A = this chain, B = another copy of it.
């Protein structure tokens, strides 16, 4: 087994064997770029090392000897040479980069003898290199803390009042070398090995054994990286950026990693070795200044950068060193970039003909797109004291004055024109008007799919939920965190991307949807199989979603329409009526209002389908809860407070999520669904008479069986037929069902006999499959995730094994009955990229998500449609 490849023997496709770094060094060598000679010990050698009780085999040692000989003959340098000693770097390099792995040791080959040889040309440089080797080797191989070495350096600088390492004299450095060697004795009880061969073998051993250290193991387990992969070791002739003022070292990106703009972007330091650039000890110069100081080198580098980018067809992150005005490339890899830059670069590369659209789509992390659509705090916010941290429920950044009730928040907003933040223990549908006017919503309870979180995301508002450290006291109108008391009207700032809360008003930056993103989304739409619809309850929601190019509305929740004050009163009269007769008047009043709601919504549809879900939540959500409000409502509806209280009490449920809601309301109060259907159909007929061609989709929530669906469907169809007969007109329409009860999934074949489409409600389905109330999981789910009992929050990314299996059964059952059945997902995970991958696999026709998630879902849907995913 060949365990060593010279750079000239490999190429970029050999990542698995040579690691990422090794493959790229080989590729650059193959491209005849100036790469210092060297070789890579393979990942297979690492694997042998594991099996050989963590020992370097004799075969490998022999191969290393041969490689060193070859290196010597090609460079003319030898270990311990009195005139031109061979110095090398040793770096790890797995196929996938990984924190916790041993990284780099430079200057191997230096010892008390060879440092003298090196010093003949430049004594300061020689001792500078030696002290670097001593510190890195001591740290990596013997585990001596970096700090101990750093302290010696700092003391020396302090005593001499130096500002920079550059001021250290040769004498200082010699002294430091002596002290460092003493540290070996004092801390590790060992000498620094003078034999360069021994240095090298110890370094290789350290790289291989660092593969097995705890941090690397945990990282691999978390990221599903196989244990058997192993790391390679790269051994390369040293070039010295610290060999004088005609030398230097730097890093550069071929495009701006923050903006994506096409120009070289980077930094360098003269007379320095690699670690100096990142350590911050000295302030590096911008790469543009190199154009002036060393114009030839700059031009050469710029050409190489362009060549590498074209070769790799991606923006590159390059490391280079200049040794006596000669340029060397030490690393090339795809550069990390911000979401915005990623989009611009992907689109530019397509336009430049370097990649195709599919590749552009594949390169984008869909989740990162959402960051582009929300404002964020300016950089300095990050320096503020974090008041508390909750779950980052809805991205964005906002500041405002705190109010603890929807009513006071709305008042402050409407009458005082304040920017307000609603801060509550939790929210419920009756808080909706306060939520709408708030810059941000903060709760001390609840999870990522609590009411507050869902509503915030739906509205695109900033949201932080479950900030448990907050003690919200409604009575005193305060929220307390340790010693800090927030009073009504105090300013706070909320970062929905990180979950952090800050005191006071922080500066924000606005982000916009740029042309590049629009282009990318168009491509994604072409590629996708699945449609991307929006959840939208209002014309405003729909308009926002249309800007993001939604394919239509997958879910309109009609209940939010009832929370406007005038309607709420009628809704309450409706609920509190003693019988069907008492419901007639309020129903008629609501009908007119709802008809207009639907008219406005459908008017925007422009050929796109709009699916309206009939009333879903338990009726008591519409009723007043506190004494004062009950008294008020009692007056409004001409009853006594006690009578109203008793009625409210009788409607209360122990587990409202599992109670009298959804189409169960249709069975007990068919007149409510009849009213809603009438409102939809009246609105559509009006529009169609105005020249539209709308075919409404009506969706029934909470269906459990074919019998139930048939019963409710009959009510809907009879209502529509009656209207059409009366108005002497016709209408095409579809009646489908939510799939959100496990029983519906199990009996989907039968339900499909009476449903024109399915739409998974993954929130309810997940709640029921796990027996988790999404409002109550906050008390145990964090521990479940910490203990790895759950890989993630199943309300955020679909649980493929359990919920997904029920979905797969439902899709198969439904399509067995009707192969053309449209099947959507309108639950929370409809906008989650990982979930979307799974949905493509089981044959989902479309997803529906909140407007701000549409771009994310669109990219994810396109990625899911592409092969090798």
A632-655 contact mask (Cβ, 8 Å, vs B): 1 or 0? 000000000000000000000111
A740-754 contact mask (Cβ, 8 Å, vs B): 1 or 0? 111100110000000
Contact (Cβ within 8 A) B780 A667: yes
Contact (Cβ within 8 A) A746 B806: yes
A428 CB to closest chain B CB, in angstroms? 9
A702 CB to closest chain B CB, in angstroms? 6
Given the complex, which residues of B lie within 8 Å of A767, measured CB to CB? 658
Contact (Cβ within 8 A) B656 A657: no
Contact (Cβ within 8 A) A789 B711: yes
A708 adjacent to chain B (CB < 8 Å): yes
Stretch at the interface among A45-53, A384-392, A795-803: A795-803
Contact (Cβ within 8 A) A658 B657: yes
A771 CB to closest chain B CB, in angstroms? 5
Chain A: residues with CB nearer than 8 A to chain B? 653-660, 664, 667-668, 702, 704-705, 707-708, 711, 740-743, 746-747, 764, 767-773, 775-776, 779-780, 783-784, 787-790, 799, 801-803, 805-806
Instruction: Give the CA-CA distance A742 to B767 in the complex, in Å.
Output: 10
Q: Who on chain B is nearest to A650 by CB?
A: B445
Contact (Cβ within 8 A) B660 A657: no
Most buried by B among A746, A764, A768, A771: A771
Closest 9 CB pairs of A and B: A658-B773, A743-B802, A655-B773, A659-B776, A742-B742, A653-B776, A654-B775, A655-B657, A655-B655
Given A668-B780, A779-B660, A741:B769 Cβ within 8 A:
yes
Select A776's contact among B660, B771, B779, beta carbons within 8 Å. B660
Q: Who on chain B is nearest to A782 by CB?
A: B668
Q: Who on chain B is nearest to A771 by CB?
A: B741
Instruction: Give the CA-CA distance A704 to B653 in the complex, in Å.
Output: 25
With A667-B780, A743-B769 given, name 12 new contacts (CB 8 A). A653-B773, A657-B658, A658-B767, A660-B776, A660-B780, A667-B789, A668-B783, A708-B789, A743-B771, A746-B769, A746-B805, A747-B801
Given the complex, which residues of B lie within 8 Å of A784, measured CB to CB? 664, 667, 708
Given the complex, which residues of B lie within 8 Å of A702, measured CB to CB? 771
Contact (Cβ within 8 A) B776 A655: yes
Given the complex, which residues of B lie within 8 Å of A805, measured CB to CB? 746-747
Instruction: Give the CA-CA distance A780 to B668 in the complex, in Å.
Output: 6
Given the complex, which residues of B lie within 8 Å of A799, measured CB to CB? 743
Contact (Cβ within 8 A) A780 B746: no
Q: Who on chain B is nearest to A706 by CB?
A: B801
Q: Who on chain B is nearest to A740 by CB?
A: B771
User: What's the number of copies of this chain in the assembled complex?
Assistant: 2
Given the complex, which residues of B lie within 8 Å of A790, measured CB to CB? 707
Given the complex, which residues of B lie within 8 Å of A789, measured CB to CB? 667, 705, 707-708, 711
Given the complex, which residues of B lie within 8 Å of A740, measured CB to CB? 771
Given the complex, which residues of B lie within 8 Å of A802, measured CB to CB? 704-705, 742-743, 746-747
Instruction: Give the CA-CA distance A707 to B740 in the complex, in Å.
Output: 25
Most buried by B among A657, A708, A788, A789: A789
Given the complex, which residues of B lie within 8 Å of A803, measured CB to CB? 743
A275 CB to closest chain B CB, in angstroms? 42
Instruction: Give the CA-CA distance A775 to B768 in the complex, in Å.
Output: 16
Select A787's contact among B656, B667, B705, beta carbons within 8 Å. B667
Q: Who on chain B is nearest to A801 by CB?
A: B747
Instruction: Give the CA-CA distance A825 to B121 in the complex, in Å.
Output: 87
Given the complex, which residues of B lie within 8 Å of A801, measured CB to CB? 705, 746-747
Contact (Cβ within 8 A) A771 B704: yes
A713 CB to closest chain B CB, in angstroms? 12
Select A654's contact among B708, B768, B773, B806, beta carbons within 8 Å. B773
Given the complex, which residues of B lie within 8 Å of A659, measured CB to CB? 773, 776, 779
Instruction: Give the CA-CA distance A801 to B747 in the complex, in Å.
Output: 7
Given the complex, which residues of B lie within 8 Å of A776, measured CB to CB? 653-656, 658-660
Instruction: Give the CA-CA distance A658 to B763 in the complex, in Å.
Output: 13
Instruction: Give the CA-CA distance A698 to B733 in the complex, in Å.
Output: 55
Given the complex, which residues of B lie within 8 Å of A768, measured CB to CB? 742, 768-769, 771
Given the complex, which residues of B lie within 8 Å of A806, measured CB to CB? 742, 746
Instruction: Give the CA-CA distance A740 to B764 in the complex, in Å.
Output: 17
Task: Provide 11 A-B residue pairs closer than 8 Å at the C-beta atoms, listed in order of the A residue.
Answer: A653-B776, A655-B657, A659-B773, A660-B779, A668-B779, A707-B790, A711-B789, A742-B742, A742-B768, A743-B770, A746-B805
